[in-house]
A and B are shown apart, each in its own frame.
Chain A
Amino acid sequence: MADYERVLHDSHRDLARGKTFAERLHLDLMLLLPLLMLMVGGLVVLYSASSADWGTVGRQGRNQMVALVAMLVVAQFRVETYRRWAPIIYFLGLVLLVAVPLVGVGAKGAQRWLSLGVVRFQPSELMKLAMPLMVAWWYSRYSIPPRPLPLLGSLLVVVLPAALIVIQPDLGTSLLVAASGLFVIFMAGVSWLYIAAAVVLFVASVWPAWLFLMKDYQKQRVLTLLDPESDKLGAGWNIIQSKTAIGSGGWQGKGWLSGTQSHLDFLPESQTDFIIAVLAEEFGLRGVLILLALYLLVIVRGFWISINAQSSFGRLLASAITLTFFVYVFVNMGMVAGILPVVGVPLPLVSFGGTSMVTLMLGFGILMAISTEKRVIKS
């Protein structure tokens, strides 16, 4: 279907019935609805995970409000605006990443934070959005599918911030940020040959990376994944307890507020990274499947927005943001269930915490901006 036909069709519809309230606000209801359901469900689980602490639930509700407002604001801009600002945001992110080791604030042996007066701020969080924006911008300037030289350029765009984050050190975030950029390249239709080559290269580099690059605590996480029983009371504790919580939930679950693993403090980080184990223990496999279904709705809608986007930039950006979102879901649920190493990734929209909530909703705001873009022929 050619662009002009759609524009005619949509214009006609617009004329016929006027704009709805949601359209006026640039809201994509099909996307917003599952997001809100995830948020509300998250509050319900958090209430239990925090041992019925309204204070925690209230703070998370405030985080969600802030994130929703941020999403709403971001949704109002034109996609072209994002495209123009993409390089600026990206380079700002790079500068901040360079600044981290120089003036940053440490926590738990890693320097990841910048202090901006009252708020502490993680530049790597900004990069989670800046990366797909920049790579999408890149391929809005070069032809699709990518030719070798622009491809190399885009890889450089990906590697630079990833390297800066690795040295903080934060391997997990670095990989996720890099992935969000690589997804754009994937969506841009990079040759399967290159992908196959990259996979081979990655596998071949695992052993040298293990020997020379990875820190002891990172190796420990991988070893713990492979055999949690080897260190029952140390590093394996988290995984054994989370698996026990999940498994003991069964099909039905132990019931809301009745999870012994979480309420007796056997489960670590039960409000944040390991909150899925609380859900699985109290609501059983049923609850897990409903959660996965909601995530699937979000992802399908995100891909739908990508396919229907007006520009190449919008298409690449929408699909990359969507895929990145899914990777967060997969990595978190996989690590808690003991099939991936423990990295600090919260369960999107459910785990307690403001930063990741806002970052995610900013991404969905961009998706909405893409989704509700005026169907007009480029002037």
Chain B
Amino acid sequence: MASSRTALRDTGREAAINAGRVAVALFLVVIALGVLSYRYYSLQIVEYERFLTQSDRNRVRLEAIPPKRGLILDRQGRLLATNIPSHRLSIVIERVSDLDALIKDLGALVELDENDLDSFNERRNRRRPYATVPLKLQLNDHEMARVGVNLHQLPGVAIEAQLTRHYPHGDLLSHVVGYVGRINESEASQIDEQSYRGTLHIGKVGVEKRYESVLHGKVGYQNIEANAHGRVLRVLDEESPSDGADLQLHLDLDLQRAAYDALGDQRGAVVAIDPSNGGILALVSNPSFDGNLFVNGISSKDYSALRDSTDTPLLNRAVQGQYPPGSTVKPMIGLAGLELGLVTPDTTVADPGWYQLPGDSRRYRDWILRIRGTGHAPNVDLRMAIAESCDVYYYDLARRMGIDDLASSLEPYGFGVRSGLDITSEQPGILPSTRWKRSRFDKPWYPGETLSAGIGQGYMLATPLQLAQATMVMANRGDSFVPSIVRRIGDLPVEGVSRPKVMASDDHWSAVIAGMMDVVHDRRGTAAAIGRNLPYTVAGKTGTSQVIGIAQDGVYDEDEIDERHRNHGWFIAFAPVDQPRIAVAVLAENGGGSSAAYPVARKVMDAWLLGASNAEESDDG
């Protein structure tokens, strides 16, 4: 319907106006198309090279291939630490719109604790764009299934295959082998970032830590074509990683288990050394813990249980525990007395059961006084003093020797210094002397303290490892080695390192060792209980070290004393005496006395000298 106004319109003029505007519009369109063409020309022709490079860099990416961590084997090649395939949950942060919400969603599918989140945030700051960032290192089967089913609803989430460290023997070896754990912030700042690219774990304690550099291996690289989600589509070229070297230990799995089982519920430590080279055959600290707990981040509940336990399972008693060595040092002091000419094997000391310093009313009691009400015998010689652990003999010898000669004669056995064992966190113990006391307490040495030192009490402290080392020296009649755990790195044998020989005449060695043999083989020996039906010869020494001081006339009554205040029991031994193949030190913490220790040593020596595993054990290296 045409309105009247339309009828009046000048259609010709209107058409002309429109045509004019169409011409202008077409002109603008052509200019705009020119702008577009020019823009595409400059992107596609002028900057072609740059964008081509950019697009290649997009799709091709250099990725680290983490090396396989070296295995740890016992002396017979049995696995002590291995790598098992597992799956981890990772996130490509760039593909996630709301990270907090995603983590919350994932929290419903898998268990995420604070450790996981902390490590995640830490790794996140070190990531490269579009790299996957691990959130949870080990998924169990249920978690795998739950995440797998929901994966399509979780953009940016990936399940990645990996190798995880595994300790097949759980508690048995944690104090020797140690464990790996997630690389923490301070470790991250110390390691070479390049060589740990792609690696999430690092040795934390024990062999795992000490030999980190050889176990780790050398990182490899590959050029991969990946899509924007980080999914690898193909490998263009690669430089293979060199896997970490396998470590073979001197340690024998069967002997380790025998020692561990022999201790049972007894807190304590066992260290067994091969006297021919200083190799550690067994090293047990009880109670222990499962190193597997630490690999992918221990839960705070598990950790506080370990940390707060009064049994201190995390303490490696064998190398970190420092205890008064008690009477175990008597053979070494006796040898020093012979060498210094203070006594001969025939010299005797009158033993009423107690000892007094000239001009001092205090009575230094012999342990036998409480039991028999008298001394060991009217007159005690060196052999008997060792066999029956006569304190009076040693009070007298120590007084005549003086603390400084006593200290310098014990020093070559390795007391008072770290042995140099190839695991970390060893403690040095204390070998007291006048100089030591001066620098430690700024006080003079009192004569009474020399008597305590003569029976391994007072200030003197030693680790079970140090006593095992000293026992090795006795077994070798002076020859000494730095104790070592690792026997072979890859194909390369690790040579035992000799220490300065402890010099003494053969007669003197024989005199002392005869006393040590009586400890076990003589009916009156302090460890005669293990001498029955013994198919091999043993030279040993018992020791008891006080945890609390007993008043001069006080009575030590085991039953009335708190378990934690009971005496520590020691036993050191080597066997067979003619051709020693094992030197062992046993500590029974609060065991009451050496009777808690020597049965353990007997079982360890039995296992080594009579056990099945020993039959095939003849080569060395």
Residues of A within 8 A of B (CB): 2-3, 80, 84, 140-145, 183, 186-189, 232-233, 237, 241, 243-251, 260-261, 263-266, 280, 284-285, 288-289, 292, 295-296, 299-300, 303, 306-307, 312, 315-316, 319, 322-323, 326, 330, 333-334, 337, 339, 378
Contact = CB atoms under 8 A, between A and B. Distances in A.
A23 B5 CA distance: 32
> Which range contains the number of B residues in contact with the other chain?
35 or more
A261 B32 contact: no
Nearest to A306: B22
Contact of B44 (A188, A247, A316): A247
B36 interface: yes
B501 interface: no
A250 B229 CA distance: 25
Given A247-B47, A248-B52, A337-B40, A261 B25 contact: no
B444 interface: no
Residue in B19, B22, B32 with the greatest tally of chain A CB atoms within 10 Å: B22
Nearest to B130: A233
Contacts of B5: 141-143
A223 B498 CA distance: 72
10 contacts: A144-B9, A144-B18, A189-B17, A245-B55, A248-B51, A284-B44, A296-B29, A303-B25, A316-B18, A330-B32
Interface in B285-329: none
A232 B134 CA distance: 23
A2 B6 CA distance: 17
B19 to A, nearest CB: 5
Contacts of A187: 18, 21-22, 25
A302 B52 CA distance: 38
Interface in B32-91: 32-33, 35-37, 39-41, 43-45, 47-48, 50-52, 54-56, 58-59
Contacts of A247: 43-44, 47-48, 50-52, 54-55
A157 to B, nearest CB: 18
A260 B25 contact: no
B32 A189 contact: no
Contact of A186 (B21, B45, B48, B227): B21
A333 B44 contact: no
Interface of B: 1-3, 5-6, 9, 11-15, 17-22, 25-26, 29-30, 32-33, 35-37, 39-41, 43-45, 47-48, 50-52, 54-56, 58-59, 94, 129, 225-229, 233
A243 B43 contact: yes
A285 B48 CA distance: 11
B51 A264 contact: no
Main secondary structure, interface of B, reads helix
A247 B55 CA distance: 9
B54 A244 contact: yes
A289 B37 contact: yes
B40 A246 contact: yes
B137 to A, nearest CB: 25
B39 A251 contact: no
A261 B36 contact: no
Residue in A243, A244, A319, A339 with the greatest tally of chain B CB atoms within 10 Å: A244
A285 B227 contact: no
Contact of B19 (A233, A243, A246, A307): A307
A339 B41 CA distance: 13
B48 A250 contact: yes
Residue in A144, A245, A289, A378 with the greatest tally of chain B CB atoms within 10 Å: A144
A2 B18 contact: no
Given A247-B47, A249-B44, A312-B9, 13 more contacts: A246-B43, A247-B43, A247-B50, A247-B54, A260-B55, A266-B59, A280-B44, A299-B26, A299-B29, A303-B26, A312-B15, A330-B33, A339-B35
Given A3-B11, A233-B129, A334 B36 contact: yes
A38 to B, nearest CB: 15
A326 B29 contact: yes
Nearest to B39: A337
Contacts of B40: 246, 280, 285, 288-289, 333, 337
A261 B55 contact: yes
The 10 tightest CB contacts between A and B, nearest first, are A247-B51, A189-B17, A248-B55, A264-B227, A265-B228, A247-B43, A285-B44, A248-B51, A315-B18, A266-B228
Given A288-B44, A299-B29, A264 B18 contact: no
Contacts of A141: 3, 5-6
B601 to A, nearest CB: 65
A245 B30 CA distance: 25
Nearest to A339: B39
Contacts of A145: 17
Nearest to A183: B25
Contacts of A339: 35, 39
Contacts of B33: 292, 295-296, 330
Nearest to B53: A248
Contacts of B29: 296, 299, 323, 326
Contacts of B58: 241, 244, 260-261, 264, 266
A251 B45 contact: yes
B227 to A, nearest CB: 4
Nearest to A192: B24
Nearest to A249: B44
A3 to B, nearest CB: 7
A48 B56 CA distance: 19
Contacts of B26: 299-300, 303
Nearest to B51: A247
A316 to B, nearest CB: 7
A286 B20 CA distance: 33
A285 B45 contact: yes
Contacts of A322: 25
B45 A250 contact: yes
A284 B45 CA distance: 9
Contacts of A264: 58-59, 225-228, 233
Contact of B43 (A80, A307, A337): A337
B25 A319 contact: yes
A144 B229 CA distance: 58
A265 B18 contact: no
Nearest to A245: B55
A189 B13 CA distance: 11
A233 B6 CA distance: 59
A323 B18 contact: no
A246 B51 contact: yes
B371 to A, nearest CB: 80
B22 A265 contact: no
Contacts of A330: 32-33, 36
A189 B21 contact: yes
A143 B5 CA distance: 8
Nearest to B26: A303
Nearest to A232: B129
Nearest to A234: B94
Nearest to B3: A141
A265 B229 contact: yes
Contacts of B59: 260-261, 264, 266
Nearest to A322: B25
B17 A326 contact: no
A292 B14 CA distance: 31
A143 B13 CA distance: 11
Nearest to A285: B44
A43 to B, nearest CB: 22
A306 to B, nearest CB: 6
A244 B22 contact: no
Contact of B48 (A237, A248, A307): A248
Given A244-B58, A266-B228, A315 B44 contact: no
Contacts of A289: 37, 40
Contacts of B226: 264
Contacts of A2: 12
A337 to B, nearest CB: 5
A315 B15 CA distance: 8
A292 B36 contact: yes
A336 B11 CA distance: 42
Nearest to B7: A378
